[in-house]
Amino acid sequence: MQTHCSLVTLAGRTLSLAATAYSRLVTELMRPAKQPPGSLSQNGLLPSKPLQTFPVTTPRRAQPPSFSPAEFREALGMFATGVTIVTARAADGTLVGLTANSFNSVSLAPPLVLWSLARAAGSMPALSAGSHYAVNILAASQKALAERFATRNIDRWADVVFTEGIGGAPVLAGAAASFECFNRSRYDEGDHVIFVGEVERCTHDAGASPLLFHGGRFYTEHPL
């Protein structure tokens, strides 16, 4: 009788040990396998570990240019532009006009355009103080006019046909387009001042061919 009880007790202990071992095996199999660094997990995703971050530092100013002013001019000359003449009337009634190709659109609502002028330009006082100016986009036939308004110490307005626009700013006859602008704002940048004009009136000739400027030379359009 005692032998029978001992066998039953031994069998029970054996079953208990087997159940414990089985439970540990199942737990181990259910545990996610360890992946070597940089490898994908079983579901194809990277293991969830903190990503290494790198601090981003913003330089306080640009490095000195690695090119000469002449090289900079030549590189800028590769960008083909239209040609404009910016016109205004000074407080004393004097007509002001200059050739510029630093013209661009800024906004549709409100309608804004910009152009820039060298800080040392003689026309800077009149254009800065005036309430209005006009930006006249030249047509291909107005090459001579572009050259005249880029020449110093001459009467630029001799025999020039124009109408008086808003604020007295001259609107040139024959221009491909004209933008009559309120002198909205000015920004000093480097050796130039950026003018932002709010367009109060604009006109254009849909059939006009524009005068183009590229690499120091004038061109006319040629459709590709």
Which residue ranges make up each domain of the chain?
Answer: 79-220
Its pTM stands at 0.74
Q: Residue 82: how many CB atoms within 10 A of its CB? A: 17
Cis peptide before 59 (omega within 30 of 0): no
Tell me the pLDDT band of 56, cut-offs 50, 70 and 90. confident
Q: Does domain 79-220 have CATH number 3.90.1300.10?
A: no
The proportion of the chain whose per-residue pLDDT surpasses 70, expressed as a percent, equals 77
User: Over the stretch 129-157, which tens digit does the pLDDT of each residue have?
Assistant: 999 999 999 999 999 999 999 999 999 99
* Residue 2 zone, left/alpha/beta (φ > 0; ψ -120 to 50; rest): alpha
pLDDT at 23: 56
pLDDT digits (tens, 9 = 90+) for 65-91: 999 999 999 999 999 999 999 999 999
Q: CA–CA separation, 25 vs 53, rounded Å?
A: 39
CA distances 55 to 4, 52, 58, Å, are 75, 10, 10
Q: Is residue 96 pLDDT above 80, yes or no? A: yes
